[in-house]
Amino acid sequence: MRLKRTHNCGELRKADCGGEPVIAGWVDTYRDHGGVIFIDLRDRYGLTQVVFNPEDNAQLHDEADRLRSEDVVTVKGTVRERPGGMVNPKLPTGEIEIKAGDLEVLSKAKTPPFEISGDEEISGEIRLKYRPLDLRRPQVQKNLFLRHRVVKAIRDFFDAQGFTDVETPFLTKSTPEGARDYLVPSRVYPGKFYALPQSPQMFKQILMCAGFDKYAQIVKCFRDEDLRAERQPEFTQLDMEMSFVDEEDILGVMEAVVSSVFEKVMDTRLDAPFARMEHADAMRRYGCDKPDVRFGMEIFDVSGALEETAFKVFAGLLAREGVIRGLRVEGGVERFSRSELDGLVEFAKEQGAGGLVWMKVKEGGMDSPIAKFLSEKEIANITSAASAEPGDLVLLAADQDDVVCQVLCAIRLKLGSDLDLIPENEYRFLWVVDFPLMEYNKKEKRYDAAHHPFTSPRADFLDTFDKEPGKARARAYDLVLNGIELGSGSVRIHDPEVQRRVFRMLGFSDEEMDDRFGFLLDALSYGAPPHAGFALGLDRFVMILAGVDTIRDVVAFPKTQRAICPMTDAPSEVSPAQLKELGLGLK
């Protein structure tokens, strides 16, 4: 390299006029105006316009004429003000340009499959296949710079608060709970496997047993599960744990760190403490445990109002301990055509409902396909429960509780988006608390841990949680932002006997719990302090701050929704020799 960079492409200003800097980067755009060539040179800091005039240097002009997009060059020249009318107010460097005096071509580029600075839509598969080019795009780089600042703000906060960053292992023991583990075969011990951690949960609890008191780590975790927009097979979380604390301490620390990030990175002050809602209320009012509270349209219940109905569909459902609940769409009569209402019915079916009942509230009555099956009193009761006024649309779903929750939650979010009810650029945090300790698994006909098996039952359920698991509540809490679960936490079980009772309730024998979790039980048995913690999904958090729809836009090298890396073609086959060395064979 003959010319060494002295300035970046976003740095020069009018005060630098007359100087002779050297800048380097990628050719962003090429323009030939009457024989004078203008090139915008781009690096991660910005753009600088470079001018090649044949009257100044014909040979240099000819070299510039052979440049194309994404060639990598170094340019030396003189900074000067742009002529009148040529100033670009959209660029920080828009008042100056460089009159080229020397040029060195460092690398020639093939024609890229898409424009780096363009704003056209590019398929996700193409973006990930050509990820090095995609990562050059200013918006993608902006997202990753944002992520860097978020991570730095988090680390600065925890360091100032006396937390210790401890790296926990990636090769550990398989203790599958919930999602499937990624397994790593051991060459040294044929037939045995490591697992990539789904979280550092047990290790951070052991750190508390070891007396570290305050732990915080930004760590990679791995889960072999079906993917969605906010999930990846490998993901990053902020993981923290504290000793001699309760729920209030953890919630306070997390509110403080999130507020610090918003203040330092987004220049926004949050109102704290954040609102709280019990899990049962969230399910009743919004149909889910991560409600988007930026808009209303809460769910109402008319099961009691229709308990004596002669309408056979509703009566039969209620006899099977089902529920009838609904949503009120203010002014919905004028906003929905019959075909659009039919579309809502089909959408409800896609969410698992048998159907959806619509009712148009009018003066002195109601227009609905089922109006003739309902008495005037029942119609009045529905209208009252919905707080509906003439012109409003009422939507009813009738099924088992879990199905109705799922359907009405999905419809509420769809309508919130379709009707522009959700305010933009608003951040509404919510703590969801008082979760169930256990959830009944209908398929397996047993109870599973609602959070994870290391979560402590609430004090008033300590004596009864294994006798009446369906009633027990947990010392667990989730942080929700704009309808997205950012993370979860809980007060942990620090009594080894209570931990064994939970394992037994989950179906583990004493031998199985010692085999899978013996190292944790052993640590608890030597004097464990009360401790609690939290894990916040960093990818989801940055996704929301960046205003994008998928975490793939804030992860440098993500996988597709099929868990594939198009750039490296991973996962890929390995040679028979590698498998033989591991003592493995393919079936």
Residue 276 is predicted with a pLDDT of 98
Nearest CA to 386 out of 477, 306, 298 is that of: 298
Rounded percentage of the chain residues whose pLDDT exceeds 70: 99
Contact 52/37 with Cβ under 8 angstroms? yes
Per-residue pLDDT for 434 more than 70? yes
Residue 192 domain flag:
no
408 in the same domain as 317: yes
Residue 136 domain flag:
no
Q: What is the mean pLDDT of residues 422-443?
A: 94
Residues β-bridged to residue 492? 455
How would residue 177 be classed by pLDDT, with cut points 50, 70 and 90? low
CATH number, residue 218: 3.30.930.10
d(CA 29, CA 68): 8
- How is residue 248 written in tokens? 């209030």
400 in the same domain as 320: yes
Residue 383 is predicted with a pLDDT of 93
Per-residue pLDDT for 484 more than 60? yes
Nearest CA to 395 out of 439, 333, 454, 450 is that of: 333
pLDDT tens sequence across 1-11: 899 999 999 99
268 in the same domain as 167: yes
Question: Which of 418, 446, 472 is the endpoint of a domain?
Answer: 418
437 in the same domain as 381: no
Q: What is the mean pLDDT of residues 438-455?
A: 90
305 in the same domain as 403: yes
How would residue 107 be classed by pLDDT, with cut points 50, 70 and 90? very high
Residue 398 is predicted with a pLDDT of 94
Residue 230 is predicted with a pLDDT of 61
520 in the same domain as 445: yes
Residue 442 is predicted with a pLDDT of 84
Residue 334 domain flag:
yes
Residue 360 domain flag:
yes
390 in the same domain as 341: yes
How would residue 481 be classed by pLDDT, with cut points 50, 70 and 90? very high
Q: What is the mean pLDDT of residues 426-454?
A: 93
Residue 430: partners with Cβ closer than 8 Å, 6 or more residues away: 274, 275, 276, 277, 291, 293, 479, 480, 481
Q: How many angstroms from the chain centroid is the CA of residue 31? A: 41
Residue 511 domain flag:
yes
Residue 127 domain flag:
no
d(CA 226, CA 150): 27
Q: What is the mean pLDDT of residues 243-261?
A: 98
159 in the same domain as 256: yes
Residue 585 domain flag:
no
Contact 219/236 with Cβ under 8 angstroms? yes
Question: Which of 418, 442, 458 is the endpoint of a domain?
Answer: 418
pLDDT tens sequence across 17-73: 999 999 999 999 999 988 999 999 999 999 999 999 999 999 999 999 999 999 999
Residue 118 is predicted with a pLDDT of 82
25 in the same domain as 72: yes
How would residue 225 be classed by pLDDT, with cut points 50, 70 and 90? confident
Per-residue pLDDT for 339 more than 60? yes
How would residue 445 be classed by pLDDT, with cut points 50, 70 and 90? confident
Q: What is the mean pLDDT of residues 575-581?
A: 93
What is the rounded average pLDDT for all residues in the chain?
94
Sign of the torsion formed by the C-alpha atoms of 375, 380, 381 and 382: positive
CATH number, residue 396: 3.30.1360.30
Per-residue pLDDT for 176 more than 60? yes
231 in the same domain as 340: no
Domain residues for the domain of 374 are: 295-418
CATH number, residue 26: 2.40.50.140
How would residue 84 be classed by pLDDT, with cut points 50, 70 and 90? confident
Of 204-213, 304-313, 454-463, the one with minimum mean pLDDT is 304-313
Rounded percentage of the chain residues whose pLDDT exceeds 90: 89
Residue 558 domain flag:
no
How would residue 366 be classed by pLDDT, with cut points 50, 70 and 90? confident
Per-residue pLDDT for 183 more than 90? yes
Residue 152 is predicted with a pLDDT of 98
Q: What is the mean pLDDT of residues 93-120?
A: 94
Please give the radius of gyration of the chain, using alpha carbons only, rounded to the nearest integer.
Answer: 30
Residue 415 is predicted with a pLDDT of 97
How many independent structural domains does the chain possess? 3
434 in the same domain as 413: no
467 in the same domain as 414: no
Per-residue pLDDT for 229 more than 60? no
How would residue 572 be classed by pLDDT, with cut points 50, 70 and 90? very high
Nearest CA to 528 out of 204, 294, 289 is that of: 204
Q: How many angstroms from the chain centroid is the CA of residue 85? A: 45
d(CA 95, CA 102): 22
Residue 92 is predicted with a pLDDT of 96
